[in-house]
Amino acid sequence: MDRHFFEKDPVLRDIFNHLGDAVYFIDSHGAILFMNKAAEILDGYTFEEARGRTVTEL
């Protein structure tokens, strides 16, 4: 998935941000490309803080 996919499609980003479940999109190396608001609450990191890091680093 394109790293900038959610930056180009704000409607899709808003849909995922309003889900009650944590959602992550990661690349083939495990780096976070996107995480929704529920994931931010679960992990205690904002998407901007987590972007590019792996889930295990959080």
**What does the pLDDT look like over 15-40, one tens digit per residue?**
888 899 999 999 899 999 989 999 99
More confident residue, 55 or 39: 39
Q: Which CATH number fits domain 5-57: 1.10.150.80, 3.30.450.20, 3.40.50.720, 3.90.1150.10?
A: 3.30.450.20
- Is 90 exceeded by the pLDDT of residue 14? no
The residues spanned by each domain of the chain are 5-57
- Global pTM reads 0.76
- Is 70 exceeded by the pLDDT of residue 2? no
Residues 6+ apart with CB under 8 A from 43: 22, 35, 50, 58
- Whole-angstrom distance, CA of residue 44 vs CA of residue 32: 15
